[in-house]
Structure 1
Amino acid sequence: MSTLIRGGTVVTGSGETVLPAGAVVVRDGRIADVLDHWDMTLSFAGEVIDASGCVVMPGLINVHTHGVTPGPLFPSAAPALPEERWMGNLDRHLLSGTTTVLNLCGFASMDEVREADRRHSVHVRGATTHLPHCVQAAAMADGHGLTAVSRELSVEQMLDDGAVAIGELGGGQTLGGGGQDLVYIPAAIHKASGIRITIDQARRIKEAVLGRFIDVAAFNVNALAEAAKEAGLTEAFTATQLAKLVTDSVMPSFVPAIEGIREGIRAASTFGVPAIVHSASATAKVLRQMMLELDGSGATVIAAHANHPSHTPDEARELAVLGRKMGWPAEASVFDLLHRRHTVKTREHWDILLREPELISVIGTDYGHDGDHDELISAIQDIAVRGHRPLAGAVAMATSAPADLIPGIAPGRGRLEAGRMADVVVASADELRDVRLVLVDGVCVVRDGKLTPKAHR
């Protein structure tokens, strides 16, 4: 089958090349040619797509996703999502132009990753956190998704079976971050009192007890009284009771999760694969320690969501600058900070990191509130519109850059070049979220903004 996509602005993914009225020829699942124009006097034996008014780019590669396999969820190994949810999450990625995802729910087996990859046209890749301290942290935070198989697997076995990275090491669920604010602390309060609180209320209560850096010495009784009053909890709990509830929810998993970060980074150095580490205020100290420990080792360690809002903007920048100096690439997650704004309601961290060249290497989405993150393609548009990168550079952050940074995530993909696999996205130039067409391996899986029957296998 052959397809000609002509007349659009072709952004090849190289980080430099833009063809204002270019053409892409797809044949037998691969890119056959990329041209600066198409001679309209020539005939074409195949489907012709008029991409006028659109941007044509490689399929996007998302290095930070959760909930895209039938395996345990998050670093806390929460119960797996039902099939309609994880398949639906893959649908959302595909409809917004993402054709490859890296699952950072690190307790999924490669059989579970392969099931998702087989069932859906999105290329699903796996990472691993099958390490003793990571398992211990997951079991203490939640662990209800752990199976006998996931407990017995090792990182080495997972890498031998096709995992492409070690990660996500640490997470908000095990390190007293957003996962605790969103799920575990509200659940514990509801179980004890019948009262439901919001994520913002949970965060204020937690920080009154443990501070931003998760330290029992940070307890502030006056701040806790104010937070408890605002959440309507003063009749249900004494200050001592509420502080104990928060501490019992957060602290059991915290120390093993920190040790799991050390364990995972050292394993990545040993096995020569990238490690992807949860970057947040609670992990800043251990990240600095591991940067010094591995200095000169050549290990690839990626600081996930370097724009995490638990940092102050200055802290985020300071840690990213140090990471750049020490050779640690950084990823910025769009979360839901552009459009949805359920959990991340400030973009200051995003802007301060992205406006400075070379602080951020790649972009991802993370998960957002109940999977309702902003689209990766909208992050590309925002980066270009804000002037943080030219369009070519913004596209590269979600195409060639992740393909180069994580060997194995997308071999033969990430660029529109002759001979590469034909993962291609056509989106409106005025609004990139308006994705018109997606090809995966040269097969049309999204047409006119809707999934085709070939999206699912």
Structure 2
Amino acid sequence: MSQIRPIVIINAIVITGDGVTVLDKASVLLANGRIEAVVELDLPSLFPDHLVLDASGCIVMPGVINAHAHGCVFGPSMPSGSAPFDQREVDYQRNRHLLSGTTTLLNVCGLALDDEIDAGPNGGHPLDVHISTAHTPASLAAARAVDGEGLSARHLAARIDDLLSRGAKALGEAGGGQTLGGGAQDYRILPAAIEKACGIVVHPNLARLLKEATLGRSLDGADTAGDEALARLMEENGLGRHFTAESLSSLIRETVMPPVALARRGLAEIAGEAARTGIPAIFHNAAPTASQLIDLARAHPKARIVAGHSNHPSFTAQEALETAVALRDLGASIDVSTLDGISTRWRNGPGNVDALVEAGLVDTISTDFAGGDWDGILEAVHRLVRKRLCLPAAAIAKATGNVARIFPELAGDRGLIARGKRADIVICHSHNLARVRHVLCAGRIVVFNGELRFNSISSQEVSEGA
């Protein structure tokens, strides 16, 4: 990462990230890792050592800020405190984010420590990765109840104030798919329990149906489909030879429910810590937690609550809308996550995202994890523009300027194309915002023509490749 020459990006359509401003033809000057000037129409005077990057036919926007992701640090993974990902997987996840336009990322597993951000031998990745903290007694106990394999004595002894003093940028994720019966139960934990019991590998969507037939979408049994529906699912999918309805229900309850009460207590602890510290807090927003989260927002009006993945598949579209309205009225910010529901669509779809955006209820867009099958944030941005649910400037702001505003501790110096801001820049095709061509982090070219380039870029390469 030795390329430090000043750069001028010319012939650009600049979308600044503030939600409204579009400059049809402009130049952006970068120097010393910052945006030095944005000049409309006329090419500015250049110093001889400026590297010129021609953005003809492209949009220049701020680097994407992803404030809800997993799998990008070397500490305990997920709110379950599971074993850390290895070096290859962390590199893979970070590279995917960078190539899809993300330049700043908040890893919200919540139980890693500050020295586990770049603990591997390949530290210094240009993606700017930060951690959150959920080190409260009940959150740690919930992790241990479902897994906890990655938790050492250091993790168990850590507390929120410790981590904030060492650079954590947010609280949370309060709760999680592992501890509150969410997506990770569907794609990892419950299928593993069923396979261990009978040798059959079930698809995550079937695991979800079995779980909801037994426990209901809110895990309270209120909207279960009943024993008859469970028995039908078992027979249709070859499970009737291995389980009775009673034995499968028992396995599901024993797998899903042990951490739930503890995780709910953890939500309350983190809401209290958010009110005390003034730090933004990210909460698992889904059918099992929606009413509690609304109550917590009401009880802690000073807490900066971010309702994570408010498009969660446990919600119907109407429930997602009603929950978002109630939380917005109480001052919470509404985040939606791509999950695997934008282009992959293996377990999830885009319906709840579309409904929330169309209703004007979405503040930010993140990826979450979706078992590693997450779709890129700019894929969601492009979808919103293509479906005319958002103008481009408003859609891009949900991935840039809005995130910086809600998380100033994480990204207050970036997220906008404006003088003095950190020079995190994405250059993508104007007719497909998800088609990323170049990425700059702190004024350095780190993706060039769709290729990871962590080393220096020559003037000849730029002139030939732009």
CA distance change for structure 1 residues 356 and 242 in 2, over 3 Å: closer, same or farther? same
Note the 1:213-224 alignment, pairs <5 A.
213-216=218-221, 220-224=226-230
What is the match of residue 238 of structure 2? 232
- Separation in 2 of the partners of 1:349 and 1:217? 22
Note the 1:18-57 alignment, pairs <5 A.
18-39=22-43, 45-57=49-61
1:41 Cα offset (Å) = 9.1
1:298 Cα offset (Å) = 2.4
- Separation in 2 of the partners of 1:334 and 1:376? 7
What is the match of residue 165 of structure 2? 160
What is the match of residue 246 of structure 1? 252
Q: Among 252, 259, 262, which residue is 1:256 paired with? A: 262
With 145-154 and 384-393 compared, the bigger mean Cα shift is at 384-393
Which amino acid letter does the alignment assign opposite residue 388 of structure 2?
Answer: G
| TM-superposition CA deviations, 1:1-49 (whole Å, max 9, x none) | 1111111211111212111111101112111110112338978642111
- Separation in 1 of the partners of 2:388 and 2:407? 26
Which amino acid letter does the alignment assign opposite residue 87 of structure 1?
Answer: D
Whether 1:355 and 2:361 are equivalent positions in the alignment is no
Q: Among 281, 284, 287, which residue is 2:290 paired with? A: 284
- Separation in 2 of the partners of 1:209 and 1:198? 17
What is the match of residue 183 of structure 2? 178
* Contact 1:7 1:23 survives alignment (8 Å): yes
| TM-superposition CA deviations, 1:274-324 (whole Å, max 9, x none) | 110000001012112212212xx3221010011111011000000101111
With 167-176 and 429-438 compared, the bigger mean Cα shift is at 429-438
Whether 1:148 and 2:153 are equivalent positions in the alignment is yes
- Separation in 2 of the partners of 1:200 and 1:411? 39
What is the match of residue 404 of structure 1? 405
Identity %: 39
- Separation in 2 of the partners of 1:106 and 1:304? 14
- Separation in 2 of the partners of 1:222 and 1:454? 61
| TM-score normalized by the length of structure 2 | 0.93
Which amino acid letter does the alignment assign opposite residue 435 of structure 1?
Answer: V
CA distance change for structure 1 residues 104 and 41 in 2, over 3 Å: closer, same or farther? closer
What is the match of residue 135 of structure 2? 130
* Contact 1:201 1:230 survives alignment (8 Å): no
- Separation in 2 of the partners of 1:194 and 1:268? 44
* Contact 1:95 1:446 survives alignment (8 Å): yes
CA distance change for structure 1 residues 78 and 404 in 2, over 3 Å: closer, same or farther? same
Which amino acid letter does the alignment assign opposite residue 228 of structure 1?
Answer: M
- Separation in 2 of the partners of 1:169 and 1:315? 20
**Structure 2: runs of 5+ lacking an equivalent:** 457-466
- Separation in 2 of the partners of 1:383 and 1:125? 28
CA distance change for structure 1 residues 171 and 41 in 2, over 3 Å: closer, same or farther? closer
| TM-superposition CA deviations, 1:326-374 (whole Å, max 9, x none) | 1111101111212101121x322111100122x1111101112x31211
**Structure 1: runs of 5+ lacking an equivalent:** none
Which amino acid letter does the alignment assign opposite residue 228 of structure 2?
Answer: N
Whether 1:273 and 2:275 are equivalent positions in the alignment is no
Q: Among 173, 184, 189, which residue is 2:194 paired with? A: 189
| TM-superposition CA deviations, 1:176-200 (whole Å, max 9, x none) | 1111111111111111111111111
Across the aligned residues of Structure 1 and Structure 2, the Cα RMSD in angstroms comes to 1.7
What is the match of residue 380 of structure 2? 379
Which amino acid letter does the alignment assign opposite residue 287 of structure 1?
Answer: L
SS at match of 1:21: strand
- Separation in 2 of the partners of 1:429 and 1:43? 29
